Amino acid sequence: LSLEWLRDAPDEVARNYLMNINGLGRKSVGCIMLLCLGKKEFPVDTNVGRICARWV
């Protein structure tokens, strides 16, 4: 399974494709997009989200 085409795909297309893979959630997809695909992404888990919510 090659996912190389996702590097050139628009962010929304890449995100939607990855989210449809069983077992991947928002944070995993964010990490893949940031670290593997070189996309501008900010992966947020529940703890980061909780802390950020305090500042908003």
Residue 37 sits in which domain range? 4-55
* Alpha-carbon span 50 to 19, nearest angstrom: 22
Contacts of 31 (CB under 8 A, 6+ apart): 43
* Alpha-carbon span 30 to 45, nearest angstrom: 10
What's the predicted TM-score (pTM) here? Answer: 0.79
pLDDT tens digit string along 1-56?
A: 788 999 999 999 999 999 999 999 999 999 999 999 999 988 888 888 788 888 77
Q: How many domains does the chain have?
A: 1
